Amino acid sequence: MRKSLVAGNWKMNGNKSSINSLMDGLVNGLNSNVEAMGSVDVLVCPPAVYLQQVADKVSTSSIKVGVQNVSEYESGAYTGELSLAMLADFNCDYVIVGHSERRSLFGETDAQVAEKCQAALEAGVIPVLCVGETLEQRDSGQALAVVEAQIDAVLKCCGIASFSKLVVAYEPVWAIGTGRTATPEQAQEVHGAIRAVLAAADAEVSASVRILYGGSVNAVNAAELFSQPDIDGGLVGGASLKVDDFLAICSAAAAA
């Protein structure tokens, strides 16, 4: 049995005051419903400058904290980057790796994403490895091939055993921030294909890896998405900034 995970990707949003209210709402909401929420892991990924603030807030809850990106390098002349060693000072358990915005806006390649996964795993931080096709790729029938190649790059660099320690997030680029969610069937098809690629290398690892869906997940569509056999929760952008919506998505995952 795979435990569901709901991860909030706040992206470049929030300030001290809004983050205080958001975290108070989440901690209270989850703590007042501990029994039902026991079957879901909840993760928030704030902008890194707010890590300490968020770490302080989660100390009375089971919420985990992650960041949205990390350098593949240990230290040195990499202006603007954050290292895994720095994250260790903040009880940071997860890092989002290879989000489509990092790939498209900041030029991250499959190979670099794989190196970031490797570095995170070596540091004991759980990568949330994002994969997904663009609309053009889907329309030309390449969705599965693109996603499989993205998975393959990490398999080659890190090996199949690494997938027992990471989380995969399938996020079709055309569904991110657009309000246009993949249908549960479209998402399930790709999730099933990812699991099949991993199963060809190791059936046990494949059966245990959590594969999240991301792309316009909201309080209304979450339950149906999470009811699919190979969808183990969600990576949530916009709706993770609203207490009630995010809690509703967590409840949907807990009930799935």
Residues marked active site are found at: 99, 171
Q: What is the distance between the alpha carbons of residues 231 and 208, in angstroms, rounded to a whole number?
A: 12
Closest CA to 99 of 143, 69, 124: 69
Give residues with Cβ within 8 angstroms of 202, minimum separation 6: 160, 161, 163
Least CB distance to ligand PGA at residue 56 (A): 25
**Token digits of residue 15:** 């300030």
Cβ-based nearer residue to ligand PGA, 96 or 193:
96
Torsion of CA 48, 49, 54, 56, to 10 degrees: 120
Least CB distance to ligand PGA at residue 172 (A): 10
Least CB distance to ligand PGA at residue 251 (A): 17
Q: Which of residues 158-197 bind ligand PGA (CB under 6 A)?
A: 171, 176-177
Least CB distance to ligand PGA at residue 89 (A): 25
User: 182, 193, 212, 217: which one contacts ligand PGA (CB under 6 A)?
Assistant: 217
- The 120-159 site mask, x for binding ligand PGA (CB under 6 A), equals ----------------------------------------
Torsion of CA 32, 37, 41, 43, to 10 degrees: -40
CB 45, CB 15: distance < 8 Å: no
CB 228, CB 256: distance < 8 Å: no
For position 238 contacting ligand PGA by CB under 6 A, the verdict is yes
Using the contact rule CB under 6 A, the part of the chain among 42-50, 82-90, 118-126, 213-221 near ligand PGA is 213-221
Q: What is the DSSP string of 48-102?
A: GGGHHHHHHHHTTS--EEEES---SSSSSS-TT---HHHHHTTT--EEEES-HHH
Least CB distance to ligand PGA at residue 227 (A): 18
CB 62, CB 39: distance < 8 Å: no
Using the contact rule CB under 6 A, the part of the chain among 15-23, 139-147, 149-157, 232-240 near ligand PGA is 232-240
For position 66 contacting ligand PGA by CB under 6 A, the verdict is no
Query: Which positions lie near ligand PGA, rule CB under 6 A?
Result: 9, 171, 176-177, 214-217, 235-239
